[in-house]
Structure 1
Amino acid sequence: MSMYDYVIVGAGSAGCVLAARLTEDPETRVALIEAGGPDTAQEVHVPAAFPQLFKSALDWDLDTDPEPGLGGRRAYLPRGKVFGGCSSINAMIYIRGSRADYDGWAAAGAAGWSYDEVLPYFKRAEDNERGEDDFHGVGGPLTVSEGRSGHPLSSAFVRAAQQAGHKANDDFNGQEQFGVGRYQLTQRGGLRCSAAVAYLHPALDRPNLTVLSSTQARRVVIEGGRATGVEVERGGTLEVLRAEREVVLSAGAYESPKLLMLSGIGPAADLTAFGIEVVRDLPVGQGLQDHYMAMLNFRTAAESLISAASPENAALLQSEGRGPLTSNIGEAGGFFRSRPELQAADVQFHAAPVLFHQEGLGPALEHGFSFGPLVLAPTSRGAVTLRSPLPHAAPRIVHNYLVTPEDQACIVAGVRIALEIAAQQAVAELVTEPFEVPASDSDADILAWARRVGQTLYHPTSTCAIGSVVDPELRVYGVPGLRVVDASVFPTVPRGNTNAPTIMAAEKAADLIKGAV
């Protein structure tokens, strides 16, 4: 039995931050468990290559159960199974969300999580090439930079959105979120700056950090009501990693609740049905939220990213850190309101200089481009439940995408905004013909189309939420020695891409664990 101060499950966006921050104290012994392996694949680091990682060995390759709001369709859910987790396979977009998200959490009881209280942790993490100001930091581990691709098709979307009356915004993480523009990215010199690159790699040589790759966590060991370690499977053998201070689950919004339930922490009736002894009856896995997106796709005669993988572009990436291979696919976008009375955005757009269809799995064999909305502040809630008491079994996941009238109205309004942008000169002059668009602009056709072609934007949250499963210091209610630190603790999904908020939460959690706040 190996002994540590802290055992962290998951070397993803949160786990990498925690491992680096906790081992800054040379007396603190940390074990970091990762089911995947090192982030050595070239496709991880070359930004435009990330879709090639879908359904690879670096992907947990999950699926939902039949989704009632999608006509019973199953949705594909890629998740990173590699150092850096999803930050090693994502689109690298640096978005924090809205002030309204964090202030809403605090107002609902998440003490310490208001916007003004979390902003210092965003800034601490950040090394923004624009420099320091009221909203941004420099000198942190995570490099945040301008996109180095600057693809003309992405620029056309931004121009068309302005022609449609939407204002330009050069900083979605600044004073205001509304508007259109290009996204800042977690890139360094044109290559991916994942949580592993930013936090874990600089810490790997520390003697007080033990990283166990290709190691599957099976359950949290609980003795006398307290979490004392993690049972893992490694190389076909079982062992227990003992945590003298705390066990921290950072396995993500699908796997962290699964691990809790396998350990006897969850809805009592569900656990009993699987013959799992109930340690603590908590609504683990309930409250799941995610962002659902529907992309308009158009053919074009202009050059798209399908020609990016040329020797010339590879040389440009290597020598100057720019060019099409630095593209994060979703280069541009914006934030909108579906109804004028809303104070915060409820629709977000992503625009890609390539066809992006069939849940990101469709072949892009011809030149095209895509853009479209997502439901940014969904009212629907789903759940993660056990499918089997076997640790290797994937959980049962239902998001309930588009089941509420509010979410249906939001996606329809978002698609209407997209169709209006598509009609503007900057886009219309580039379109040779539609590739995948609604049959008409009627509400019924738009909604039917969105249900058929839509997909996750890879932002699951809220399955171990503050206030229901963990307290505001991220300690699991009624189980001493156990915390959850990842996007599952968010009370609601933030209004934006979730990687930056996850890194922020881990920065804050490191202080909470150290007793520094």
Structure 2
Amino acid sequence: MTTRRENSTTYDYIVVGGGSAGSVLARRLSDDPEARVLVLEAGRSDYPWDLFIQMPAALTFPSGHALYDWKYESEPEPHMHGRRVAHARGKVLGGSSSINGMIFQRGNPLDYERWGEQPGLETWNWAHCLPYFKRMENALAASAGDPHRGHDGPLELEKGPATNPLFQAFFDAAEQAGYPRTDDVNGFRQEGFGPFDRNVRHGRRLSASRAYVRPVWRRRKNLTVKTRALATRILFEGTRAVGVEYRRNGRTHTVRAKEVVLAGGSINTPQLLQLSGVGPADLLESLGIPVVVDLPGVGENLQDHLEVYIQHEATQPVSMQPYLRPLSMPLTGLKWLLGRTGPAATNHFEGGGFVRSNDEVRWPNLMFHFLPVAVRYDGQIADVKHGFQVHVGPMYADTIGRLRIRSTDPTEHPELVFNYLSTENDRREWVEAVRVARDILSQPALAPFNGGEIAPGAEVSTDEEILEWVGREAETALHPCGTAKMGPADDPMAVTDPLTMGVHGTTGLRIVDASVMPFVTNANIYAPVMMIAEKAADLIRGVAPLPAEDLPYYVADGPAKVGVTA
């Protein structure tokens, strides 16, 4: 295959990946009119006319479709009956933010206090991360005087209306089960139940691309975005990254830059590093890849969230079930096309909550998403006239996996092992998660709507039966992270310098995406990834960081570094 050298232009930054983090970097790095920025996205463009991307309720269509999804899957998971677990990741401009459930959750402040307790990560605690959450968001439903929320950022966040009577009944049931309400899971108090923020605006998906890239792409001469451009190798001179090799339109191209910034996500980024000679030396040598830097942590520390659906039949005609039937879809789609209204204008993930499943955890370790419909991510509809469901799973599984390339072929998916359900603590919390969910769903507030449990069903009741069912039915919540974690150079498993986002042992190479997270947060990771990119953009540009903000936040038991007690 012929390799073509592009024109003599040397970019200041090549951003590899136009997903969630890459969209932020495209905008923020090109804010400097003197900086020439090239974004390489392997997937297609997020066309404004593409209903599967733009229509919120169409979210089940892109996942699993090769036009939008990398369609990764794990190796046979030994504690899940040898199942291969499918992992949808966005292969399109906007990345997974163009195909995900559009839920915006920061995580708990104590997640970031945990980050900040790690050696070298002191500037990644809550006080230092909060200003960047605020910079990116425009929390439309939050009071203009709420200091915990941002009000003029690119991401306009709608609060899920949660007006369907099933939502109110669910929130009431949670209170009857002993769990509190919260006004804002992204504000002072995460713990509790209430409406969720979502990346939906005027009835359309508000992806990272649409919020950050689309408003400036055509107007900025210093920003170039190339889609369908698969990065195949980082170009090095010694240990300095000097450019990228990529394939586009059947040809191989090379392009040079002063800085290469990897933003492909927790699967693509370590894969590209390993293909380029940065990673565990034994793996690289076994595949005949010259070792540029022996970094054993590349591809290790793989973390994720697993979840199950607990589904119930509804006895009253108030669910969204009828709108999923083929005869209803044309009218539903027409309403959306004509006015961005109707059932297709919502992501349906309008509310849920966070709770602690036992007294040993300091902050919520279970997350609930409630839907007034019974349907799986793959579009499989429960065989009932009306239904509802909760998604639930532990947020801090101590199961750790790894990623390794199989060959030197950049188009071959890497080997992914997550080790779900492999520890005693994870199995215990899974039993607790299902029992807490069932307790809430059995409360009097839901009785007028409750037609009985569809899944898992009455035959699943003992701890052993619950774990067997989870092993058969659980799906990823699509939050892989940690495969190039931040940490100091003397940490043998650290990959990314937390002060510069540089890759240890190299120059001119940085990482900005979910792979740098040392620990997964207790919520959907889209918002944390966007925060990381906002903060990293300042580090890369060398501008003064936003001042830390020591605002109080809710803590359930005992004092925190910053905060108040219950």
Instruction: Give the TM-score taking structure 1 as reference length.
Output: 0.96
1:332-371 equivalences under 5 Å are 332-357=351-376, 360-364=378-382, 366=384, 367-371=386-390
Aligned-pair CA distance for 1:363 = 3.6
1:63-462 equivalences under 5 Å are 63-109=73-119, 110-129=121-140, 130-132=142-144, 133-148=146-161, 150-205=163-218, 206-244=220-258, 246-282=259-295, 283-301=297-315, 302-308=317-323, 313-314=332-333, 317=336, 321-357=340-376, 360-364=378-382, 366=384, 367-438=386-457, 439-462=459-482
Aligned-pair CA distance for 1:103 = 1.1
Equivalent pair of 1:316/1:322 in contact (CA under 8 Å):
yes
Equivalent pair of 1:149/1:324 in contact (CA under 8 Å):
no
User: What is the alpha-carbon distance in structure 1 between the residues aligned to residue 285 and residue 447 of structure 2?
Assistant: 58
User: What is the alpha-carbon distance in structure 1 between the residues aligned to residue 265 and residue 84 of structure 2?
Assistant: 20
User: What is the alpha-carbon distance in structure 2 between the residues aligned to residue 52 and residue 39 of structure 1?
Assistant: 14
Matched, 1:483 2:510: yes
Aligned-pair CA distance for 1:311 = 6.0
Aligned-pair CA distance for 1:250 = 0.5
Partner AA of 1:64 in structure 2:
S
Partner of 1:105: helix, strand, or coil? helix
Aligned-pair CA distance for 1:342 = 2.1
User: What is the alpha-carbon distance in structure 2 between the residues aligned to residue 458 and residue 466 of structure 1?
Assistant: 21
Equivalent pair of 1:87/1:194 in contact (CA under 8 Å):
yes
Equivalent pair of 2:160/2:351 in contact (CA under 8 Å):
no
Equivalent pair of 1:226/1:480 in contact (CA under 8 Å):
yes
Equivalent pair of 1:144/1:185 in contact (CA under 8 Å):
yes
Are residues 156 and 321 of structure 1, via their aligned partners in 2, closer, same or farther at CA, if it must alter by over 3 Å?
A: farther
Equivalent pair of 1:262/1:389 in contact (CA under 8 Å):
yes
Aligned-pair CA distance for 1:313 = 4.6
When structure 1 is superposed on structure 2, of 17-26 and 328-337 the one drifting more is: 328-337
User: What is the alpha-carbon distance in structure 2 between the residues aligned to residue 306 and residue 37 of structure 1?
Assistant: 32
Partner of 1:286: helix, strand, or coil? coil
Equivalent pair of 1:373/1:411 in contact (CA under 8 Å):
no
1:23-38 equivalences under 5 Å are 23-38=30-45
Aligned-pair CA distance for 1:167 = 1.1
- Identity over aligned pairs, percent: 41
Aligned-pair CA distance for 1:317 = 4.3
When structure 1 is superposed on structure 2, of 35-44 and 81-90 the one drifting more is: 35-44
Please name the residue that 2:551 is paired with.
none
Equivalent pair of 1:190/1:322 in contact (CA under 8 Å):
yes
Aligned-pair CA distance for 1:146 = 1.2
Equivalent pair of 1:149/1:323 in contact (CA under 8 Å):
no
Partner of 1:108: helix, strand, or coil? coil
Equivalent pair of 1:154/1:353 in contact (CA under 8 Å):
yes
User: What is the alpha-carbon distance in structure 2 between the residues aligned to residue 485 and residue 397 of structure 1?
Assistant: 21
Partner of 1:202: helix, strand, or coil? coil
User: What is the alpha-carbon distance in structure 2 between the residues aligned to residue 89 and residue 184 of structure 1?
Assistant: 17
In structure 1, stretches of 5+ residues that fail to align are none
User: What is the alpha-carbon distance in structure 2 between the residues aligned to residue 257 and residue 268 of structure 1?
Assistant: 14
User: What is the alpha-carbon distance in structure 2 between the residues aligned to residue 303 and residue 78 of structure 1?
Assistant: 31
Aligned-pair CA distance for 1:318 = 5.6
The number of residues matched between the two structures is: 515
Partner AA of 2:448 in structure 1:
E
User: What is the alpha-carbon distance in structure 1 between the residues aligned to residue 321 and residue 526 of structure 2?
Assistant: 26
Please name the residue that 2:549 is paired with.
none
User: What is the alpha-carbon distance in structure 2 between the residues aligned to residue 131 and residue 503 of structure 1?
Assistant: 22
User: What is the alpha-carbon distance in structure 2 between the residues aligned to residue 341 and residue 291 of structure 1?
Assistant: 20
User: What is the alpha-carbon distance in structure 1 between the residues aligned to residue 298 and residue 448 of structure 2?
Assistant: 51
Are residues 63 and 393 of structure 1, via their aligned partners in 2, closer, same or farther at CA, if it must alter by over 3 Å?
A: same
User: RMSD of the TM alignment (CA)?
Assistant: 1.7
Partner AA of 2:380 in structure 1:
G
Aligned-pair CA distance for 1:150 = 3.1
Runs of 4+ aligned structure 1 residues displaced above 6 Å come to: none
Equivalent pair of 2:52/2:61 in contact (CA under 8 Å):
yes
Equivalent pair of 1:474/1:484 in contact (CA under 8 Å):
yes
In structure 2, stretches of 5+ residues that fail to align are 488-493, 545-566
Partner of 1:154: helix, strand, or coil? helix
Are residues 317 and 159 of structure 1, via their aligned partners in 2, closer, same or farther at CA, if it must alter by over 3 Å?
A: farther
When structure 1 is superposed on structure 2, of 64-73 and 147-156 the one drifting more is: 147-156
Equivalent pair of 1:148/1:327 in contact (CA under 8 Å):
no
Partner AA of 2:137 in structure 1:
E
When structure 1 is superposed on structure 2, of 267-276 and 422-431 the one drifting more is: 422-431
Please name the residue that 2:561 is paired with.
none
Partner of 1:25: helix, strand, or coil? coil
Aligned-pair CA distance for 1:316 = 5.4
Instruction: Give the TM-score taking structure 2 as reference length.
Output: 0.88
Q: CA-to-partner distance for each residue in 1:287-313, whole Å, 9 max, x for gaps?
A: 000011111112224343343355665
User: What is the alpha-carbon distance in structure 2 between the residues aligned to residue 323 and residue 160 of structure 1?
Assistant: 27
